[in-house]
């Protein structure tokens, strides 16, 4: 998986913005952000349709991720939901298929459905989203649960709770973390210290926030933007090297966790 990808949350909800959303994804692909993250929940399938349009003619260069609703996560439900996502995306396979969050269906059923899809070639790998350490322990106890290939969670400079336990737990086991809302939907970008650090590196606050997420090994940032200019800005985070002194300065305004915290979600 690339370390920086393209999110699609809230895309596919308005026909008037569809063309710009498609162009934003295409621009990101042109800049090497070849991971696209979507879900059947986003726009009730609308984001998958937008993604399918953006991928046209270049599927093989893309690492494609989608997610299944928890209420669709029974054994047969997973299979049926995946088939519906593939139709909307106009592709024959997903590179990664995630359980969007834990719901009413037993993990054994969900994992069995994922494994059936994997054996049939409909998905290459599967994983989870919004799973805390306790959920991951439960998953590991399920047959084939150790095949989990990723955990997608909320993570950015202002949401660092996973650093206490979940992030090291996953990294120790080689399970990548995918960070959604890595710039907190823009809410942290006016922070004075973030702005100061950005100026020191001739970067933008968004680029520093993305570099913060990507500084951990096996951690992927998936910012969403429907603005091609913002996508270009996000791509500039690749390769930024920030000093330990400046990361320490950021720690003072966005302190790392000192104790276990409930897993945050948006």
Neighbours of 168 (CB within 10 A): 13
Catalytic member of 42, 75, 97, 155: 42
> What's the chain's Rg over C-alpha atoms?
18
- The length of the chain, given as a count of residues: 266
Contacts of 67 (CB under 8 A, 6+ apart): 38, 39, 40, 41, 97, 98, 99, 100, 129, 152
Q: What are φ and ψ of residue 92, in 5° steps?
A: -105, 0
Known catalytic residue at 42? yes
Give every CB contact of residue 77 below 8 A, 6+ residues apart in sequence.
68, 71, 105, 113
Distance CA 184, CA 95 (A): 26
Q: What is the largest CA-CA distance in the chain?
A: 53
Active site residues: 42
């Amino acid at each position: 998986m690339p370390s920086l990808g393209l999110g699609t949350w809230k895309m596919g909800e308005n026909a008037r913005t569809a063309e710009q959303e498609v162009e934003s994804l295409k621009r990101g692909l042109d800049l090497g952000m070849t991971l696209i993250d979507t879900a059947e929940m986003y726009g009730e399938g609308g984001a998958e349709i937008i993604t399918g349009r953006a991928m046209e003619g270049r599927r093989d260069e893309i690492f494609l991720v989608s997610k299944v609703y928890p209420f669709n996560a029974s054994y047969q439900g997973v299979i049926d939901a995946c088939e519906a996502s593939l139709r909307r995306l106009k592709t024959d396979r997903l590179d990664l298929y995630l359980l969007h969050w834990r719901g009413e269906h037993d993990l054994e059923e969900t994992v069995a459905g994922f494994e059936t899809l994997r054996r049939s070639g409909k998905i290459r790998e599967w994983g989870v989203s919004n799973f805390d350490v306790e959920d991951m322990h439960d998953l590991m106890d399920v047959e084939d649960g150790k095949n989990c290939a990723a955990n997608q969670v909320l993570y950015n400079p202002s949401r660092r709770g996973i650093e206490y336990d979940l992030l090291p737990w996953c990294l120790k086991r080689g399970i990548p973390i995918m960070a959604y809302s890595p710039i907190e939907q823009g809410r942290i970008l006016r922070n004075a210290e973030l702005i100061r650090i950005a100026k020191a590196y001739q970067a933008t606050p968004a680029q520093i926030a993305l570099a913060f997420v990507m500084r951990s090994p096996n951690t992927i940032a998936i910012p969403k933007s429907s603005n091609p200019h913002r996508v270009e800005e996000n791509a500039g985070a690749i390769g930024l090297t920030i000093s330990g002194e400046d990361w320490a300065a950021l720690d003072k305004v966005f302190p790392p966790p000192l104790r276990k915290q409930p897993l945050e979600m948006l």
